[in-house]
Each structure stands twice: as C-alpha cells, then as structure tokens.
A and B are shown apart, each in its own frame.
Chain A
Amino acid sequence: MLAYALRRILATIPVMLFVAFFVFSLLYLAPGDPAAIIAGDQATPAQIAAIRLNLGLDRPFLVRFGGWLWQVMHGNLGTSIFTSLPVSHMIAQRLEPTLSLMVLSTLIAITVAIPLGVLAAWKQGSWIDRLVMVLAVFGFSTPVFVVGYLLAYVFALKLGWLPVQGFHSLRHGFWPYLRTLILPSVALGLIYIALIARITRATMLEVLSQDYVRTARAKGVGNRAILFVHALKNAAVPITTVVGSGVALLIGGAVVTESVFAIPGLGRLTTDAILQRDYPVIQGVVLLFSFVYVVVNLIVDLLYTLFDPRIRY
C-alpha cells in the first residue's frame, strides 16, 4: 500500500512538471514579443524594455524556466502587472469563496446524485428511472450560467428567498455565508449531479446483476442492505473516479458561476486577469487549479485501495 502510494505520488511529478512548463511557456507561444504583449498597446519602448529586463528575456529559455519554477516552489508566483501585488497574495485573498463554492457543490452533488442513481438502478425501467435519465441529459445540456440565471430569477428575484448576488465571508456568521452560497452551489452542482447520477446508475446496474447479489437475496438479506452494503460498496470505484474527474467541470463552472453571482473568488480573478491581460495572474490561477485537479485525482486513486482491497498495483 505504502509503496503503491509512493509510486503514484511520484508519477504525478512529471505531469505537474509538464503543466508548469506549459503554463510558463504560454507567454512565449504567442506570436510576437512577450514583453510587448504584457505591456499592452499603449506602452512606450522604455516600458517594454523594462518589462523585458524584468522577465529576464536576455537569458536562455530553460534557465528562465528553472528560475521561475524555483520561485513557484517557494510559493512565489510573481507579481501582478495590474495591481503590482504578489499573485500568491491575490490568490489567498480570493480562496475562501471559491473553495466554499466547490466544496458545497460537491457535497450537494454527492448527496443528491448517489441516492438518485441507486434508486434509478433499483427501479430500472420504471418512471423514476426514466425521470432520472432525462434529468441527467438536461443537466448535461444546460450550461451553468443558464441554470444560475434561472435559479437567481426564480428564487432571488421573484420569490425573494435568497440574495441575488454577492458573498459573505464565514467571519460574518454562518447563516449569511450559507445564504449567499446556496444558489451558486446548486447551479454549479447540477452538471455534477447529472454526471454522478448517471455513472451511479450504470455501475449499480452492473453490480446488481452479479452472483453475490443474487446470493445475498437468496439468503434473505433485505433490499436496503443489498443496495447500500453489497452493491454500492462495489460500485464505489467508478463513482469516485467520476467524482474526481468531474472536478474539472467544477473548476471551469466556478469561473462562470462567480461571474453570474458576483462572487469575489478565483473565478472572478481569472476573468478580470484575462480582460486586463494580467499574465502572471493567469499563469498562477491555471497552475493552482491544475494542481488541485491533479491532487484530487491522486487522492481518488489512493482511495481505490480503500474501497477495493483487491486493487494492488
């Protein structure tokens, strides 16, 4: 187990190195002078020269990459062109809303989708199964901002139950914090619900047709125990895989959800950085999100051995 975990962790290093290399070279892949790109259209030649010196463009590419990577590993993601603040500082400031949004969305998605999927598989072919499948297709097809605006329109504008926009930090109390997060989390979670419900139904159908389920039934085990002890436990591996890979959807969706609900999180930071062409910030955010995504999937891989002790790589 420990050897496997170690090997798996080591295997993510080249992947992260590639991501770092890609993120670093983004600026140099673009046609034209990177210093001029950063400086923007209204820069004077002197400004461009200053930026060129700052980027160290007089040194070889790989040397620059090495230096940059060294800084990144020490938590230094560079300085924002626009605000002149350290990127790591800007990210830290904006972490709470995005993290809250993603965690709450995941919680909602898992608690809604898995029972739905189990129910659909158990009652295969019934109206409830069809309903879940139809909802799943709709969940896939409705872009997150459409869901967001619909929810905001109904529950905030028309019914007035929840705030339309904004975010309150946990420091100002739990209820105000939760109130602002409910609609965005549901909006963001919908596609995740569709994804997890679908895979849960599919794997449960496969597991429920296994011999050991028939045996359990034959010896008189109750339906609930069969579903949640015998079947769901064996369906756990594919479900966690999808939960892990679905994090990419959450990250992409968060960027949009934060725009719809005016939440000052990392997604907004990304959007603003793009509009201002603030490359160090874009690099920092892409690197951070990719790192989170890789780590989540690493954890998922390690969880396999917990759910299914037969898995030994």
Chain B
Amino acid sequence: MSTTYRQGTVAAVALPDVLPPLVRRGRTRTFLRRHPTIAAGGALIALMLAIAVFAPWLGTVDPTAIDPIHRLADPSARHWFGTDMLGRDVWSRTLYGARISLLVGFSVAFCAGAAGTLVGVAAGFIRVLDGVLMRIMDGLMSIPPILLAIALMALTRASVQNVIFAISVSEFPRVSRLVRGIVLSLREQPFVEAAVAAGTRLPRIILRHILPNTVAALLVQATYTCASAMITEAILSFIGAGTPPIIPSWGNIMAEGRALWEIKPYIVFFPAFFLSVTVLAVNLLGDGLRDALDPRLAKRL
C-alpha cells in the first residue's frame, strides 16, 4: 500500500524525466527502511547462502577427512571450532552443513508449495474432488508433521532427496488448505465472473486470474515452510532418521556431538547457533513479507 501511495506522489510532481533512475533506487531503499525485518532477514540469508556457496574457500578442509590423532581438539588457530570424535574439523563441517540445510529448506518450500498449489487449485475448482481431497489433507494434517516425516523416513534409505520428499509430504497439506481458501474466495470476485462471462477458458482463468493472486500468500507461506523444513531436517538427522551420517548436516554434527556434549559442548553449540540464526533469518523475512504484502494480516499478527 505504501508503495502505491509513493508512486502517486511521484507522479504528481511534474518532473518525471529527470527523476526516474534516482526514484527507483530510492524506492528500494525506502522499502527496506520501512521493512527492517526484510532487510535484516534477507541480509542474513544472503550471508548464509554465501557461506554455503563459498564454503571451500573459507579456511575449510575436507569436512569428511578423518584425523584420529587430533580428535576432540579444543578450538584453536588450526581448528577454529575444534575437532569432533573422529578428528574432523567442526568449522568445515558446520560451513558445509549450511549447504544441506539451505538445500533442504528451499527444496521443501518449492516442492510443498507446488504440490499444495496443485491440490488447492484442483479442490477449489473441481467440486467433485473437493470433498475427497480435503478429507485426505485433513487426514494427513492429523498426523503431527515431524512424526509423518519420521514415519516416511523409516521406510526409505537415508538420503537428502528422501528427506526433502518426506518433509514436503508433511508440509504440503497446509499449503493446499491455504490455496483452496484463496481460490474459493477469488472465484466469487467480479473480475473472475467477468472473465467467465467473457468466455475465458478454465486454464486461462487459473493462469491469468487465480494464480497471480495467490503468489503473495504463497510466498509468505513458503518462508514458514522453509524455516520449519530446516528445523525438521535437523531433528530428523539428530535422531538418526535424516541425512546419512557421512553428510555433514547440522543435525548430524549435533547428533555426533551428543555423546560428548557435557565435556565438549561447543561441538553441539556451533551448528546449533548456525541453525538458529538461519531459521531466524527466514522467519524474519517471512514476517516482513507478510507485513509488506498484506497490511491487513500485519495488524492481526
């Protein structure tokens, strides 16, 4: 809302030819200043992404390299975060762990969003399917998400793809409910009725009129899905039902540090800190997006 108001003021000032480039940059800056949570969350996520991408060049060694002679070393100049039970460098493992967490978080947000949209639109438009689909979603949602993911992981071999699949299955029913609600309320809108009256075909109505109007809510939901997926991934790995132990994910590092945490607590606390900061960043971005995209919701929560 704030941006449209600003656009209006700019248009009223009768000097459009000189100003445009300046105004555009100013707008981004004002937007970020108005929504400090987006700026803070976005910056932290960018930092984590950079860490994940540039992990090999940030003073790391092979995160899986075993060095039993130097096992359980305290943090030092050589091993910034110390070493674990097998002498692996915790700093390297933690940085490489960012890759797994972000990969799982983003993939689940995407997969659950896509599947949820598909089911939600189908349920919203095809009356015959609505009842059946929503009962199935209710059933899936009545299994606590972490347990559902655990149950699915118990069936398959531990791998990153399977973790993404299991968490997506446990997250997408919520997205489908959200999308269905939006679709049902949009169908009553005059612009959709007008499109129907003008003879627009169903696929085009969905693509042109329905989907664009779900983007804002989906984007906000995607951030929450992403945050919860990263936590679920860590939990799965922590209890031994997630990514295979060879992969340095934050949950795995913590699971391995668990046995010794009373004498070497930092092995648990370093990845725990990174995980919390990443989840916090995604949540901040989500809160900020919600405030920016839906001012009505912002007041309520």
Contact in complex: B241, A274 (CB < 8 Å): yes
Contact in complex: B144, A202 (CB < 8 Å): no
Contact in complex: B240, A141 (CB < 8 Å): no
Contact in complex: A255, B235 (CB < 8 Å): yes
Contacts of A247 in B (CB 8 A): 144
Contact in complex: B287, A137 (CB < 8 Å): yes
Choose among A14, A26, A199, A202 the residue that contacts B155 (Cβ–Cβ < 8 A).
A26
CA A277 to CA B143, docked complex, whole Å = 19
Contacts of B240 in A (CB 8 A): 271, 274-275
Contact in complex: A143, B231 (CB < 8 Å): yes
User: Which of B21-29, B86-94, B262-270 participates in binding chain A?
Assistant: B262-270
Per-residue contact bits, chain A 172-205, to B (CB 8 Å; 1 contact, 0 not)? 0000000000000000000000000011001001
Contact in complex: B276, A274 (CB < 8 Å): no
Q: Would you list which residues of chain B between 128 and 161 have a CB under 8 Å from chain A?
A: 135-136, 138-140, 142-148, 150-156
Given A145-B254, A289-B144, A294-B142, A256-B235 contact (CB < 8 Å): yes
Contacts of B148 in A (CB 8 A): 286
Choose among A30, A253, A293 the residue that contacts B156 (Cβ–Cβ < 8 A).
A30
Q: Which residue of A lies closest to B271 (CB)?
A: A146
Per-residue contact bits, chain A 228-248, to B (CB 8 Å; 1 contact, 0 not)? 000000000000000000011
Q: Which residue of A lies closest to B261 (CB)?
A: A149
User: Which of B12-20, B105-113, B278-286 participates in binding chain A?
Assistant: B278-286
CA A299 to CA B135, docked complex, whole Å = 20
Contacts of B204 in A (CB 8 A): none
Q: Which residue of B lies closest to A259 (CB)?
A: B239
CA A297 to CA B140, docked complex, whole Å = 15
Contacts of A251 in B (CB 8 A): 144, 146-147
Choose among B135, B143, B150, B301 the residue that contacts A270 (Cβ–Cβ < 8 A).
B150
CA A199 to CA B301, docked complex, whole Å = 7
CA A280 to CA B242, docked complex, whole Å = 20
Q: Is A206 an interface residue (CB 8 A)?
A: yes
Given A252-B147, A286-B147, A290-B147, A18-B135 contact (CB < 8 Å): yes
Q: Which residue of A lies closest to B146 (CB)?
A: A252
Contacts of B154 in A (CB 8 A): 26, 273-274, 277, 279, 282
- On chain B, which size bracket covers the interface? 35 or more
Contacts of A256 in B (CB 8 A): 235, 238-239
Q: Would you list which residues of chain A between 118 and 166 have a CB under 8 Å from chain B?
A: 137-138, 140-146, 149-150, 153, 157, 164
Contact in complex: A146, B143 (CB < 8 Å): no
Give B100 Cβ to nearest chain A Cβ, in Å.
15
Q: Is B38 an interface residue (CB 8 A)?
A: no
Contact in complex: B151, A26 (CB < 8 Å): yes
Choose among A19, A140, A205 the residue that contacts B283 (Cβ–Cβ < 8 A).
A140
Q: Is A2 an interface residue (CB 8 A)?
A: no
Contact in complex: B276, A146 (CB < 8 Å): yes
Give B87 Cβ to nearest chain A Cβ, in Å.
23
Contacts of B265 in A (CB 8 A): 149, 153, 157
Give B198 Cβ to nearest chain A Cβ, in Å.
39
Contact in complex: B150, A143 (CB < 8 Å): no
CA A294 to CA B265, docked complex, whole Å = 38
13 further A-B pairs in the complex, CB-CB below 8 A; given A149-B269, A297-B142: A14-B139, A26-B151, A30-B156, A138-B280, A140-B227, A141-B280, A145-B235, A157-B262, A164-B262, A206-B300, A251-B144, A271-B241, A282-B154
Q: Would you list which residues of chain B between 217 and 276 have a CB under 8 Å from chain A?
A: 227, 231-232, 234-235, 238-241, 254, 258, 261-262, 265, 268-269, 272-273, 275-276
Contact in complex: B155, A29 (CB < 8 Å): yes
Given A15-B142, A22-B143, A293-B144, A145-B238 contact (CB < 8 Å): yes
Contact in complex: B235, A293 (CB < 8 Å): no
Contact in complex: A252, B280 (CB < 8 Å): no
Contact in complex: B227, A141 (CB < 8 Å): yes
Give A72 Cβ to nearest chain B Cβ, in Å.
15
Q: Is A36 an interface residue (CB 8 A)?
A: no
Contacts of B146 in A (CB 8 A): 251-253, 255
Contacts of A16 in B (CB 8 A): 142
